[in-house]
Chains A and B, each alone.
Chain A
Amino acid sequence: MKLIPLALITALVSLPAMTQVNLKYEQYTLPNGLTVVLHEDHSAPVVGVVVMYHVGSKNEKVKRTGFAHLFEHMMFQGSEHVGDDQHFKLLQEVGARINGSTNEDVTNYYEVVPSNELELALYLESDRMGFLLPAMTQEKLDNQRDVVKNERRQRVDNVPYGTSWEKIAKAMYPPDHPYSWPVIGYMEDLSAAQLEDVKGFFRTYYAPNNACLSIAGDFDPVEVKTLVSKYFAEFPKGREIERPAAVPVTIPSEILETFEDKVQLPRLYISWHSPKQETREDAVLTVLGQILSNGKSSRLYRSLVYDRQIAQEVNAWQSSSEIAGLFQIVTTAKPERTLTEINATIDSVVSGVLSGGVTQAEIDKAVTGMEARIVNRMSTVLGKANSMAAYYHYTGDPGNINRQMDLFMNITPAEVLAVAKKYLSAPRMLLNVVPEGKPELAIQKIQ
């Protein structure tokens, strides 16, 4: 392995030194609005290619939930110049790693190829960006609809506690809020999707001006720019896209729900509304999540799992997306324990934070953990290409990859206390999941 001259990460000399990401990159925009981000890394003969579209389940309409993700599947089914099963076939033939993913806010397509096959990746990504519709058929849609329904069964319906998240989303957001439905969608909505929906969705959201092409790895920058123009410049710019705004959401009073599932142990999900991602308050709540549940001395873990041993596990974290967030605590009871008992312990821990705050040592430990996680994420060309594209869509600037630690700097106990009070004193939702026939294990009423 060669040592790269473009060293990306610098450990600063002063103490306490934070290791800061320092990634060199180049950004430009084609006349049709496609944003291109390039980062050279010659340490291994591989290239990561990411095409991230700024569209996700929050752009769906009610009664058509799951559509953005179903559409993602259609992008692998061939385009005008690429045969029906050729996208995967051509990439696997050269040994590429390939996948796509969809969340509430973005849809991501990526491949890691040996560096000699970069042009193939650009050819395939561009053909489906520009020429998907001529190859679209009812048969393909029906087939992928079946595959996606199976994906839902595999990941949600046949999994213990699998439908909890969609129950929480439905309760926390009003029905017209785009985070009120699951990314995977409801079965009846998947059934309802039409070929015309596919076409309309493509024309609106798969325009070059709604995409970021992010390439990291072993390439020649002059050559790659020529190839990008060759394959991507001919598509017309699409119209401006209307995006759901970040309107603050609250619930007026506490919500208590219970459902019975094919499980043996009860599980409790607690959710509060919280700020959207990439904000200072988001970072502060991320730190609080670590203080509550990361490691043996974290407050909830120590109390519920280590000392009292009434819970099998507990996790607390700030789960934030582009226009809103939720702060969540999830815990599974040990056999013979009730969620009422567990919730009483959680209440006392959370009250302890709200009255007494946290210590600087707890904050420092959490921030140190963030630092190591960020460095680790930068260990692959794909990780870097993904992060740059995501920062572009979410913040308008891929360069924020080099400022990932900024939001976590100088967090004080007073600030954690203020943010915790602001969000965790508000009404919350409690979702009890209990074994079939054992509703008595649930919290019966909110104290």
Chain B
Amino acid sequence: MIRYFILTSCMIMLSQTTPRAVAQDRTSVPAGKAAPVVEVPKIQKTTLANGLSVWLVEHHELPLIAMNLVIQAGSDHDPLNQPGLASMTADVLDEGTKTRDAIRISDEIEGIGADLGVSSGTDGSFVTLRSLTKHLDVALEVFADVIVNPVFPQTEFDRLKDQQLTSLMQQKDRPTSIANNAYANILYSTDHPYGTNSSGTPASIGSMTREDLVKFYDTYYRPNNATLIVVGDISLTAIAAKLDKALSGWTPGEVPPLTIPAPPAITARRVYLIDKPGAAQSEVRIGYPALARSTPDFFPVYVMNRMLGGQFTSRINLNLREKHGFTYGARSSFDFRKGVGPFTASSGIVTDKTDSALVEFLYEIDNMREKGMTEEELAYVKKGLIGNFALNFETPAQLAGMMQNIILYGLPDDYYSTYLQNIESVTTGDVLRVSKKYLDSSKMAVVVVGDLATIRPGIESAALGEISLADTDGNPVP
């Protein structure tokens, strides 16, 4: 590599002239100045000849382009007998096209220092690209090729299938993964797409064929079932012309609609214990299926949870970490998905305090349900969310994430322009109403992965609900 030097214009000033300091009055906390006006980035849109919607936010501060093709099919589209299908399809998508083999794809992308990734989540699958602007043409050619012309080579499929089976073994070594997977199964059962492991099971992966992936791709990876997000140092006209050319071979198709079923009803609190002998901590998950992203109560619930367990100074974290020293961190969240996602309170708890921690978790949930928040707390949370809003439009990744949120959940285009108003309008009455409606601990599952020989007696005497033993998948142990 040849290095061309340029003169940097660093302005270095060494100053030693500050007058001798006097003690500063620190008795009052400095008041902030007027809040900055946050300019919500302008989203520009166009539609390609094949029907693909393209959303662009221009961002000229760095010579970078980021793209994210959002496919409206994630693990929620896995057939119930084939968990892991969306994930495997994403894994193999960039492993070979009609004209490029896996090694060539990898070499071309790395040769320009770009990143190409394919992944799937619950609500969608994503093909992402990040490249320096100067390498965009090469990067785009490979990106488009894996979207339009994937061939899912048998050898690459076999290799990645074997890797996935190994990765499922490794999940069983991690108490956090065990807790997450078992919790999902306990809440939703494996008759619901949210109850299965999105990475699959040894049985589902073991029997999967490359034809299954081809079918998933052919059905769901269609321009009429996708939106392409672009953030970067480029204009809409310029990128649309390049995309029209690169993606011209990608054709629309009929995409069967999917309705995510309602979660199973839970009638009573139950405690599920999963043994991990000798574990240094107990991984705890408490909750139940709660809300979809489309709920009209999104804003009051979001505000309420920030106080309950959604930030460092939340009640749950201050209680379990700062007051009691039970944990390195404790939290709660509503996982708003296309279908009804779970409410979950979670933490890793020092083994001999597991029962006490469960009691404190339930106390905080019940206390919020009974009393809601004070006016002072509400003002505190709102101010924090409003201030934090300014921090969300800095990087290409944040800008892409903002658009992805609108695209996946069908939010209105003015979602971010009206966000602050929606936060402002939440009242303590709203908080109490949604707390009563959505925080019913008498129906929550309490899942604990830990050293049962040590923790079981304490949990039994805490009398939190009927106790069952479960295996590392969350299935009942006779």
Contact = CB atoms under 8 A, between A and B. Distances in A.
Given A153-B350, A372-B132, A306 B159 contact: yes
Nearest to A117: B32
B453 interface: no
Interface in B52-68: 57-64
A410 B5 CA distance: 13
Contacts of A230: 24
A61 interface: no
Contacts of A10: 6
Contact of A229 (B18, B318, B384, B394): B18
B117 interface: no
Nearest to B321: A147
Given A26-B13, A95-B383, A381-B394, A295 B107 contact: yes
B265 interface: no
Interface string A42-58: 01111000000000000
Contacts of A446: none
Interface stretch (A157-165, A269-277, A319-327, A421-429): A157-165
B113 interface: yes
Contacts of A93: 380, 383-384, 387
B419 to A, nearest CB: 13
Contacts of B24: 230-231, 234
A154 B348 contact: yes
Nearest to A32: B21
A379 B4 contact: no
B395 interface: yes
A372 B113 contact: yes
A95 B391 contact: yes
B408 interface: no
A334 interface: yes
Contacts of A306: 103, 159
A30 B20 CA distance: 10
B23 to A, nearest CB: 5
A116 B113 contact: no
B311 A16 contact: no
Interface in B379-398: 380, 383-391, 393-397
Contacts of B20: 31
A114 interface: yes
Contacts of A94: 32, 383-384, 387
Contacts of B329: 154
Contacts of B386: 95
Residue among B8, B172, B383, B390 with the highest chain A CB neighbour number at 10 A:
B390
B281 A120 contact: no
Contacts of B37: 45
Interface in B325-372: 325-329, 348, 350
B262 interface: no
B112 interface: yes
Nearest to A2: B39
B30 interface: yes
A160 B173 contact: yes
A262 B276 CA distance: 10
A104 interface: no
Nearest to A97: B391
A2 B23 CA distance: 39
Given A45-B37, A45-B38, A381-B394, A312 B281 contact: no
B34 A116 contact: yes
Contact residues of B: prevailing secondary structure: loop
Given A29-B14, A114-B387, A372-B113, A147 B106 contact: no
Contacts of A155: 328
A49 B348 CA distance: 30
Given A90-B29, A146-B325, A150-B326, A296 B18 contact: no
Most buried by A among B102, B103, B175, B328: B328
Contacts of A119: 30, 32-33
A95 B387 contact: yes
Contact of A95 (B29, B348, B390): B390
A414 interface: no
Nearest to B166: A312
Given A1-B393, A297-B103, A406-B3, A264 B170 contact: yes
Contacts of B387: 93-96, 113-114, 117
Contact of B63 (A19, A81, A335, A369): A19
Nearest to B393: A44
A20 B6 contact: yes
Interface in B173-199: 173-175
B11 A153 contact: no
A438 interface: no
Given A24-B11, A93-B383, A11 B134 contact: yes
Contacts of A297: 103, 106-107
A119 B35 CA distance: 13
* Minimum-distance CB pairs A-B, first 6: A95-B387, A146-B325, A95-B388, A45-B36, A233-B21, A372-B113
9 contacts: A24-B9, A25-B10, A44-B391, A44-B394, A88-B312, A98-B312, A153-B328, A297-B106, A369-B113
Given A116-B35, A154-B348, A159-B174, 10 more contacts: A1-B59, A3-B61, A45-B390, A95-B388, A115-B390, A145-B325, A150-B326, A372-B130, A372-B132, A375-B132
Interface of B: 1-4, 6, 8-16, 18, 20-24, 26-27, 29-30, 32-39, 41, 57-64, 102-103, 106-107, 110-115, 130-134, 159, 162-163, 166-167, 169-170, 172-175, 278-281, 283, 311-313, 318, 321-322, 325-329, 348, 350, 380, 383-391, 393-397
Interface of A: 1-4, 7-12, 14, 16-20, 22-32, 43-46, 80-81, 85, 88-90, 92-98, 112-117, 119-120, 123, 127, 131, 142-143, 145-147, 149-151, 153-155, 157-160, 218, 229-231, 233-234, 262-265, 294-297, 306, 309, 312, 332, 334-335, 364-365, 367-373, 375-376, 378-381, 399, 402, 405-406, 408-411
